[in-house]
Amino acid sequence: MKITSARLIVCSPDRNFVTLKIETDEGIYGLGDATLNGRELAVAAYLEEHVIPCLIGRDPFAIEDIWQYLYRGAYWRRGPVTMTAIAAVDVALWDIKGKALNTPVYNLLGGKSRQGALVYTHANGADIPGAIESVRKHLEEGYLAIRVQCGVPGVSSSYGVPKGDKPYEPAERGLPSESLWSTEKYLNFVPQLFQAVREEFGEDLHLLHDVHHRLTPIEAARLGKALEPYHLFWIEDPTPAENQEAFRLIRQHTVAPIATGEVFNSFWDAHDLIRNQWIDYIRMTIVHGGGITALKKAADFAAVYQVKTGFHGATDLSPVTMAAALHLGLAIHNFGIQEHMPHSALTDQVFPHAYRFEAGYMYPGDAPGLGVDIDEKLAAEYPYQRAYLPVARKLDGTLTDW
């Protein structure tokens, strides 16, 4: 079998997606997600100008060799644009292989280690009563694990809380919006939020919270200690992770479980965090971390140190990534939990898929390959529109981590 063509489908059904379609001389094609929220066309250009010409004529079954060719052969390595481009190729090749062998991708990764993947979804509210009602709604939908974000009194806009009545979508069309942040107000408020949620829903519900890179290590340690009575499933991105050593300080003060890694694009971004067991869950995702090939290796390394996976799964990762994450999550032994921020109905129409949600778990389905497709005609009705993630400033105007 030979690769005969590879092309990009860039569309924007409610938000931007970049999809790579690799076609072969046997009529089988594969899909890869190349979406990097707010930098979509950078990845598209990298693929079109520097990667696709090197794919034509290659054997699509040679997944490992093509991965190494695109990683080591590029000379300039790592970074979100490069690794997202490699991921798109890699996932498309796994899709082709599954289709050619008439088997779902999870069977190529060791087979089922479980029947379904435990998932968590996003609850949010402008205030505590609003957040409580949002948790209730998702409980009624059947979720067993729920992330809770809430507006912080005295701060105009908080992470994870939608503006108006539309579902939360961080990237906004037009130039970056600016939001305000107050560490002091946040640290004083969050324990009250989880005390209220536990009082309302009891002790069994898995609760998660995303700090979104906004605290210093010692502030994160303070938050972890303050939330211990509410035994969260995890506290996510407590502090920026460029300095992996910072997590040692957090670990010295609190037993609150820690998850990080959604902004990672290489195993090396997590190497010290994992081998020192400074985290409990690695969130690096297939679309930004180099694909199924790379994430399987990272997950296997994490397993040696009892670190579990908690793959990123926001709406800015396309249904192709959701499908790939469910196949990998079904197979690896140290699967922890999968983020499930459901896409819009329109997005699901553009990307018909086999995966499904039922009673707190998701199932990739048993279609050969990944079990996801793209309706190119419908996609073409929603052209790309530049969008940016917000930036954040402290109350004194200092730019800070959004």
Annotated catalytic residues are: 159, 212
Q: Of ligand GCO, Mg ion, none, which one does residue 339 interact with (CB within 5 to 8 Å by kind)?
A: ligand GCO
* Closer by beta carbon to Mg ion, 21 or else 343: 343
Which residues in 207-236 contact ligand GCO (CB under 6 A)? Answer: 210, 212
Interhelix angle 292-304/319-331, rounded to 10 degrees, is: 40
The Cα 160–Cα 176 span in angstroms is: 16
CB of 314 to Mg ion, least distance (A): 7
Beta strands in 347-398 (DSSP E): 356-358, 361-363, 387-388, 391-394
Helix (H, G, I), strand (E, B) or coil at 352: coil
* Closer by beta carbon to ligand GCO, 24 or else 265: 265
The Cα 152–Cα 212 span in angstroms is: 14
CB of 160 to ligand GCO, least distance (A): 6
Helix (H, G, I), strand (E, B) or coil at 302: helix
Stretch that binds ligand GCO, among 94-102, 132-140, 310-318, 374-382 (CB under 6 A): 310-318
* Closer by beta carbon to Mg ion, 33 or else 210: 210
- The alpha carbon torsion through 331, 291, 321, 350 (nearest 10 deg) reads -130
Question: How is residue 372 annotated by DSSP?
Answer: B
Among 215, 316, 318, 367, binds ligand GCO (CB under 6 A): 316
Query: What one-character-per-residue DSSP string does 59-124 give?
Result: -TT-HHHHHHHHHTTTSS--SHHHHHHHHHHHHHHHHHHHHHTTSBGGGGGT--SSSSEEEEEEEE
Question: How is residue 283 annotated by DSSP?
Answer: -
Task: State the binding string over 239-278 for ligand GCO (x if CB under 6 A, else -).
Answer: -----------------------x----------------
* Closer by beta carbon to ligand GCO, 35 or else 254: 35
CB of 339 to Mg ion, least distance (A): 8
Among 16, 37, 239, 265, binds ligand GCO (CB under 6 A): 37
Per CB under 5 A, does 210 bind Mg ion? yes
* Nearest in space to 25 (alpha carbons), one of 9, 7, 5, 8: 5
Which residues in 332-361 contact ligand GCO (CB under 6 A)? Answer: 339
Q: Please give the residue ranges that form the binding site for ligand GCO (CB under 6 A).
A: 37, 170, 210, 212, 262, 312, 314, 316, 339, 389
Q: Please give the residue ranges that form the binding site for Mg ion (CB under 5 A).
A: 210
